Amino acid sequence: MTQPTRKDEVAADAPVSEDATLTFIGRIETPWPRREDCPRRGRLDGPECTLIVDPPWDRALEGIEGFEGLDILYWLHQSRRDLLIQNPAHADRVRGTFALRSPIRPNPIGLSRVRLVRRAGNRLVVRGLDCVDGTPLLDIKPETCPAAGA
């Protein structure tokens, strides 16, 4: 929709870009070099993986040690992004992309609830991931808010 303009202003007659302009805050080290090596869904008793948070975002880890559960968002960078209906190898029938947790989606964002094992500076060792080694890291959120006053 065209936005109203003030006196003497001129607006382009083109749609505003809807790109989200994501920032990769780091990367994820995992034991799996290829997609086909990864578990279909991470498990809290799975192998240790490491989130490496690059500067300046490592400063934003302050206080993270107080949480056991973290939600990790990552960019499934090797995915195609064009399928509406999919026929996953493990499924009994085809399904729409939004009825699946498949990595193939218009915005290939992966989401996993992980357990924080330990922090070493800008590195968080966690269990519960399912992504290829080197997958770009988008965000880290604690499972719950810290207790009031904490």
Ligand X SMILES: C[S@@+](CC[C@H](N)C(=O)[O-])C[C@H]1O[C@@H](n2cnc3c(N)ncnc32)[C@H](O)[C@@H]1O
Interface contacts to ligand X, rule CB under 6 A: 35, 38-42, 76-79, 101-103, 110-112, 130-132, 135
Quick one: 11 or 22, whose CB is closer to ligand X? 22
The 10 Å Cβ neighbour count of residue 114 is 25
Minimum CB distance to ligand X smaller for 65 or for 81:
81
At which residue do the structure tokens 């400063």 appear?
59
Cis peptide before 56 (omega within 30 of 0): yes
What is the residue whose two structure tokens read 């029938």? 93
Least distance (Å) between residue 3 CB and ligand X? 35
**Smaller CB separation from ligand X, 11 or 94:** 94
Total residue count of the chain as it appears in this document: 150
What is the closest distance, in whole angstroms, from the C-beta atom of residue 65 to ligand X in the complex?
Answer: 24
Minimum CB–partner distance for residue 103 and ligand X (Å): 4
Distance, in Å, from the CA atom of 86 to the CA atom of 84, rounded to the nearest integer, reads 7
